[in-house]
A and B are shown apart, each in its own frame.
Chain A
């Protein structure tokens, strides 16, 4: 019976991740990246791949470490604490989860490249301002042995830098999932100047020709294939966001203990104590939801929907509260660009929207709980 506490192995992994990221990915690295006008950090991803993180969900037969979702969440949570910029979620979590549903030499080759840090993916999901993965206007027209893709996708995280794109389009046979090179003729990337400074793009597909091999699985089965990858991504993003919430909260409680006004530390004011204590409880509940999602994804992934949506909804909400209280309790300094809290606030806002916001996941919970 899997317990809702981290195992000894997971604790060791968390320690290792913390050590690695404090050296290789302090928040100052994000600041340097932004100040240098960049939106990604390929060198850091190579370091992470060398540490084995890129293969966390890649089967051993494809040179991965196959440690499972809960382990991936341990890493994601540590990355959230440090606001690490990497394609970990899109590539190591989502693409690996999606591709490992197939067992053929070509897919094994891709998975092996993911594990080695030599191949990155982005998921082109949204067409509107909100996450609605089954609302697809993009078309796939049969053309000889292959397809012709036309349409637009918005807010594709890692959309400029990724080597390959996974995208849903509708054909006469229903929703189809395609795996194509980001360099395909007719595919253009409009980079977005994101508030969190990371890589995201709108993608335009203008008569993009792909071969029949680009179609994953059967025509019409696109969403069923995509679903496990979405759930894995949502849960890992919840873990990352929970880590973000914890780190912002830790900065805030540290500040409450050192900042003096009226001749005493502000942490002795009950008005602030009770708000901090409330936030502490919110974070605890969210951690439980994240742990639970990891356990269920590893044990019975087909029944993970409720656990994943509870985790994503909770993490989204808790992170917003944590960064908002973080700025308010820091006062003026919390508003400055020189101070890191703003980075946490901006990342939390983007994470809230990506892969479904609170309302989307509350709706999923409602469906599964008889509302």
Chain B
């Protein structure tokens, strides 16, 4: 995008950012790498892939660039939407890796900023910004998938604390997380949406165990998480007791926005044209080329839509119900992209290792996790189109 309309302040800001990045981003972190392998997740269990990754995280955290739009008091840099855009553009221009990615940044942070008490914000947000605490998400249960409000993991009121019993599933990286944010049933008598609380728990608490689930991709990013008589202090509820569904829904809009951007997280963010050009067979198949062109056009339009929604959203708030559209279109498109990449690589894609095979299989979860495509379509139908029922 051209810079002709950029005000003087933003021009100065851009040049300041450029200088800062030039002085602080280690050369190893300028390789433009994306995808799962390039992510720095942080947390107490994190092993830095190299010294540069550690230095890059520390330098960014010091000035709030791990969470640029969060207020300074909570570890952010207090940047406006325009400033944040400039920071991202300049990082991209330099090929700078993201210093830190985490569920704390993408999901819990925005929810705490909106629903958390001042004490909770001060206690939890700065460690997220510094990459010290890694979070996992305790939402789904064996009996509560698309029907998420049907969660049964129970928190019994014991006066000053809760006693938690039950099981969560699809808890991403629970085996490496320090804390969990979870939806717990705190009132079994109330209507199902009105008896849920949003609770933070230390994963080292007595009675919590995890077990990784091996997926079709061969990886085990998801776990089962078991709770057996786990004691949780009452002040670790976010928002009002029994109104956790409001927090959960808000957080989900951020999760959906994040997943819709999956092209970058999944390491398939390269233009399809470039992928096809490098593939042995990709250029010669007219049908494949046609489908790839369509996917490329849709990807570009989706990127513009993400920009547009962010421009619409005020004051760093999420995009709301529109996240359902982004999530649906983004994940379906990401699956399509990986199908095309597999087809372009032909037999060369059929082995494990340095092939797109595991990414291809991983994308199949995109349209299931965080709400299935079908749930998204129902949300769009009900909340955006106001169709009956």
Contact = CB atoms under 8 A, between A and B. Distances in A.
Interface of A: 1-5, 253, 256-257, 264-265, 267-268, 270, 273-274, 276-278, 280-281, 284-289, 291-292, 295-296, 299-300, 303, 306, 310, 313-314, 362-363, 365-366, 369-371
Given A274-B374, A278-B377, A285-B329, A366 B293 contact: yes
Interface of A is mostly: helix
Interface of B: 1-6, 10, 82, 85-86, 271-274, 276-277, 283, 289-290, 292-294, 296-298, 300-302, 304-305, 307-308, 311-312, 322, 325, 328-329, 374, 376-378, 380-381, 384-389
B380 A277 contact: yes
13 contacts: A1-B82, A4-B304, A256-B387, A276-B385, A277-B378, A278-B377, A291-B304, A300-B4, A310-B301, A314-B301, A366-B289, A369-B273, A371-B289
Contacts of A5: 308, 311-312
A4 B381 CA distance: 25
A289 B381 contact: no
B251 to A, nearest CB: 22
Contact of A281 (B272, B292, B325): B325
B308 A281 contact: no
A370 B302 contact: no
Contacts of A277: 328, 376-378, 380-381, 384-385
Interface of B is mostly: helix
Nearest to A2: B5
A280 B382 CA distance: 12
Contact of B388 (A267, A284, A306, A363): A267
Nearest to B308: A4
A292 B303 CA distance: 11
Contact of B300 (A2, A253, A276, A310): A310
A285 B271 CA distance: 18
Contacts of A268: 387-389
Contacts of A3: 311
A289 B307 CA distance: 11
A270 B273 CA distance: 37
B293 A285 contact: no
Contacts of A291: 304, 308
Given A314-B301, A370-B273, A371-B289, 16 more contacts: A5-B312, A257-B386, A257-B387, A257-B388, A267-B387, A273-B381, A276-B385, A277-B376, A284-B325, A285-B302, A287-B308, A289-B304, A299-B4, A310-B297, A313-B297, A371-B273
A369 B389 contact: no
Contacts of A273: 377-378, 381, 385, 387
